[in-house]
Amino acid sequence: MRYWLMKSEPGDCSIDDLAALPNQTVAWYGVRNYQARNFMRDQMRTGDGALFYHSNCAEPGIAGIVRICSPAYPDATQFDRNSRYFDPRATRETPRWFNVDVKLVNKIKFIPLAELRRHPQLERMRTLQRGNRLSITPLDPAEWKFITERLVK
């Protein structure tokens, strides 16, 4: 099993939006970075754990825990001319972008970015590194354990 941190803009899909969806499951659509896409396509597996992180908002931070509940499959938004995620170079025969489905495990007491930065146990966490803007990053099992056992309330 692997662990991930997955960023979502709350204006697009928040932890509360996920909680309100049927089966509390959503396709993690709209990723348009090759490295993040490759994480989903090549490394994520059904059952992997992930931290649901609110980004690009007044107070970024971890808002919940989710599980990967599907293998990667082509992101339908790349083919939709009306979507902001449309990619004219993508075809159904050779899709460029993929997503996975995630299912809510637990909405947690919000853990702000500033709180994550306070812990030396997390100093190597990719999301906390200068210049890192990836929407999906792997977590070291020790980081996952520290966050889920010490910070989640």
CATH of the domain at 112: 3.10.590.10
Q: Write the CA distances from 116 to 70, 79, 105, integer angstroms.
A: 29, 37, 21
Residue 63 binned pLDDT confidence (cut-offs 50, 70, 90): very high
Mean pLDDT of the chain: 97
Question: How many folded domains does the chain comprise?
Answer: 1
Average pLDDT over residues 101-117: 97
pLDDT of residue 131: 87
Decide if pLDDT at 122 tops 80.
yes
Identify the domain containing residue 10 by its residue range: 3-72+99-151
Q: Is residue 107 classed as helix, strand or coil in its secondary structure?
A: strand
- Classify residue 90: in a domain, yes or no: no
For residue 94, is it within any domain? no
85, part of any domain: no
